[in-house]
């Protein structure tokens, strides 16, 4: 998108430095971005999707600023949870995990997340992981345990703890993040390869050590380097992954390559539900499907998870908050419907100072650590301002121009939904009326569709319709 004003530097909080820093890609304008994806043993919940939506927001903002993002997100389809769940269900690991990969991709589409360019599965990269581990052993960063499992030796990596700001000398046994069933040189050493156990069933791969499977951390290091190179511009995930997962990724990756692993670490805060942590015992772990069954649509849910709080602040998910988000989306839709129904004669094509000011403020908020809450505030200021102009019958800028920029970021106006046959018929009739320049009939059908709960947007590519 072309702007009539200079774009500000895009600054983002970097977990490793604990500072706001400008994005400085290795090979501009390309930005490599890796996101830790779901462990596919169950449906992803709203806490998971808050992270994935914030990653989607980051990608959209970077692309708005002219960067060419190369986005990779993995599937963890081999770990303790997927093995246990597949055995309990009486299915092979592949059958079981594919079911949840399919469900996750349906949910991604429902929430209008941009599809990553690469979506590798851990089980499809076992040979590369074995080679990665072999290099760590050769460089004395890893050792083979008594049972044939392989461990990373954290004492061999002096910078261990630089992301989480933990001192490895203070790592103690018994901590939930350090618990391990195997005998190791140091409590903090973590498994790169896990020798097969009875509870693994038929799951296992032949390796130079023992039949077994990779550890969780080696999966992400291998796949990120495989698809994006030794050094990555941005690595994304939830705050719960900072330690040990991302800390361990750094240690094993830099030990193999001898290079800095990641330039910018992007972490998204937790989600609470009505002020409580999500837990099975409280019955407050909600999936995307659970929310839709409550009567909220996907546009409201996307809007809420993106805008209810800044990505580095905990989001307290409440039904009252969802109602407020539904009203906010409704206000946007009413504004869209109103300006789209105006005669073309009311719009002026020349640059409009107030519109430029709005766009500048919106973009500056995004450039300031992805401050979507501030950006939304500017949007509603703009809606109020242009509504007053419409009330007075004053000339307007082409509002589609500013909305196009906003929705490039929000992604709530172009949902691909199943359109009922009766709505499709009306849309076809309206398209025919517009083709014949029968504007009165076109406007009448638009009004009829709106009364039936459908908003119609005219674009250069044709009509787009979505459910309110």
pLDDT > 70 in the chain, percent: 93
Q: Which residues contact 468 (CB under 8 A, 6 or more apart)?
A: 297, 330, 333, 453, 454, 455
The closest of 81, 75, 52 to 121, measured between CA atoms, is 75
CA–CA distance, 398 with 59 (Å, rounded to integer) = 27
Domain count, the chain: 2
Predicted local distance difference test score (pLDDT) of residue 179: 40
Q: Which is higher by pLDDT, 142 or 434?
A: 142
User: Apex CA 235: angle with CA 85 and CA 244, to 5°?
Assistant: 55
Across 84-98, 398-412, 451-465, the highest mean pLDDT is recorded for: 84-98
Q: Which is higher by pLDDT, 146 or 44?
A: 44
**What would the pLDDT profile of 105-140 be if each residue is shown by its tens digit?**
999 999 999 999 999 999 999 999 999 999 999 999
Contact 403, 413 (CB under 8 A): yes
Q: How confident is the model at residue 181 (pLDDT cuts 50, 70, 90)?
A: very low
Q: Which residues pair with 32 in a beta bridge?
A: 70
User: For 334, how many CA atoms within 13 A lie in the half-sphere containing its CB?
Assistant: 11
Strands 68-73 and 30-35, bridge-based pairing: parallel
Q: Which residues contact 239 (CB under 8 A, 6 or more apart)?
A: 267, 268, 269, 270
- Of the three residues 240, 268, 296, the one that is the final residue of a domain is 268
Decide if pLDDT at 249 tops 60.
yes
The closest of 74, 59, 165, 164 to 123, measured between CA atoms, is 74
Token pair in block for residue 433: 């009326």
User: Apex CA 140: angle with CA 256 and CA 205, to 5°?
Assistant: 70
Q: How confident is the model at residue 352 (pLDDT cuts 50, 70, 90)?
A: confident
Predicted local distance difference test score (pLDDT) of residue 167: 75
Q: How confident is the model at residue 397 (pLDDT cuts 50, 70, 90)?
A: confident
Strands 315-317 and 271-273, bridge-based pairing: parallel
CA–CA distance, 69 with 233 (Å, rounded to integer) = 10
What number is the average pLDDT over the span 206-219?
97
Rg, Å, the chain Cα set: 25
Please identify which residue in the block is written with the tokens 């919940």. 45
Q: Which residues pair with 454 in a beta bridge?
A: 467
Rounded to whole angstroms, what are the CA distances from 228 to 94, 124, 132, 184, 224?
25, 17, 15, 32, 6
Contact 181, 145 (CB under 8 A): no
Decide if pLDDT at 176 tops 60.
no
Q: Is residue 72 part of a domain?
A: yes
The closest of 233, 215, 213 to 224, measured between CA atoms, is 233
Q: Is residue 138 part of a domain?
A: yes
CA–CA distance, 59 with 33 (Å, rounded to integer) = 8
Residue 159 belongs to domain with CATH number:
3.40.50.620
- Of the three residues 222, 247, 268, the one that is the final residue of a domain is 268
Q: Is residue 85 part of a domain?
A: yes
Q: Is residue 164 part of a domain?
A: yes
Q: For the stretch 101-131, what's the b/e string if a residue is b when 16 or more beta carbons lie within 10 angstroms of its beta carbon?
A: bebbeebbebbbbeebeebbbbbebbebbbe
pTM: 0.87
Decide if pLDDT at 231 tops 90.
yes
**What would the pLDDT profile of 336-345 be if each residue is shown by its tens digit?**
888 877 887 8
Contact 105, 67 (CB under 8 A): no
Q: Is residue 76 part of a domain?
A: yes
**What would the pLDDT profile of 278-325 be if each residue is shown by its tens digit?**
998 999 999 999 999 999 999 999 999 999 999 999 999 999 999 999
What counts of helices (H) and strands (E) characterise the chain? 14, 15
The C-alpha torsion from 267 through 270 and 271 to 273, rounded to 10°, is 180
Measured between its terminal Cα atoms, the distance across the chain in Å is 28
**What would the pLDDT profile of 313-338 be if each residue is shown by its tens digit?**
999 999 999 999 999 999 999 998 88
CA–CA distance, 402 with 363 (Å, rounded to integer) = 11
- Of the three residues 226, 241, 268, the one that is the final residue of a domain is 268
Q: Is residue 379 part of a domain?
A: no
CA–CA distance, 292 with 270 (Å, rounded to integer) = 21
Q: Is residue 453 part of a domain?
A: yes
Token pair in block for residue 439: 């504007």
Contact 216, 79 (CB under 8 A): yes
Strands 150-152 and 190-195, bridge-based pairing: antiparallel
Q: Is residue 53 part of a domain?
A: yes
- The domain in which residue 429 lies consists of 417-468
């Amino acid at each position: 998108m072309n702007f009539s004003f200079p774009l500000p530097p895009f600054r983002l909080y970097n977990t490793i430095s604990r500072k706001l820093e400008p994005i400085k890609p290795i090979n501009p304008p390309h930005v490599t971005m890796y996101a830790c994806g779901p462990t596919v043993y169950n449906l992803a919940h709203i806490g998971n999707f808050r992270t994935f939506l914030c990653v989607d927001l980051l990608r959209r903002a970077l692309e708005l600023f002219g960067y060419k993002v190369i986005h990779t997100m993995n599937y963890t389809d081999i770990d303790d949870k997927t093995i246990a769940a597949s055995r309990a269900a009486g299915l092979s690991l592949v059958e079981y995990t594919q079911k949840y990969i399919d469900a996750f991709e349906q949910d991604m589409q429902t929430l209008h997340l941009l599809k990553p360019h690469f979506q590798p599965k851990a089980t499809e990269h076992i040979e590369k992981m074995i080679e990665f581990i072999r290099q760590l052993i050769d460089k004395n960063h890893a050792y083979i345990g008594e049972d044939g499992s392989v461990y990373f030796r954290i004492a061999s990596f002096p910078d261990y703890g630089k992301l989480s700001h933990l001192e490895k000398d203070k790592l103690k046994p018994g901590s939930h993040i350090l618990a391990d069933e195997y005998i190791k040189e140091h409590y903090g050493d973590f498994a790169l390869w896990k020798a097969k156990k009875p509870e693994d069933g038929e799951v296992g791969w032949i390796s130079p050590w023992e039949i077994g499977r990779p550890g969780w951390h080696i999966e992400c290091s291998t796949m990120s380097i495989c698809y994006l190179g030794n050094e990555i511009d941005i690595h994304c995930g939830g705050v719960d992954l900072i330690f040990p997962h991302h800390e361990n990724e750094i240690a094993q990756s830099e030990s193999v390559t001898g290079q800095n692993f990641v330039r910018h670490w992007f972490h998204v805060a937790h989600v609470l539900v009505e002020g409580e942590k999500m837990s099975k015992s409280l019955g407050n772990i909600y999936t995307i499907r659970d929310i839709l069954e409550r009567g909220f649509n996907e546009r409201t849910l996307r809007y809420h998870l993106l805008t209810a709080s800044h990505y580095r602040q905990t989001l307290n998910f409440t039904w009252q908050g969802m109602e407020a988000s539904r009203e906010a989306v409704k206000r946007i839709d009413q504004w869209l419907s109103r300006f789209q129904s105006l005669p073309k004669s009311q719009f002026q094509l020349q640059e409009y100072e107030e519109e430029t000011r709005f766009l500048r403020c919106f973009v500056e908020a995004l450039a300031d650590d992805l401050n979507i809450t501030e950006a939304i505030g500017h949007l509603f200021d703009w809606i109020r301002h242009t509504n007053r102009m419409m009330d007075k019958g004053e000339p307007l800028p082409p509002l589609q121009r500013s909305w196009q920029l906003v929705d490039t970021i929000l992604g709530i106006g172009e949902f691909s939904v199943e359109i009922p046959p009766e709505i499709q018929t009306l849309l076809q009739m309206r398209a025919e009326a517009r083709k014949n320049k029968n504007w009165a009939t076109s406007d009448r059908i638009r009004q009829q569709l709106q009364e039936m709960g459908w908003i119609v947007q005219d674009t250069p590519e044709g009509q787009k319709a979505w459910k309110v």
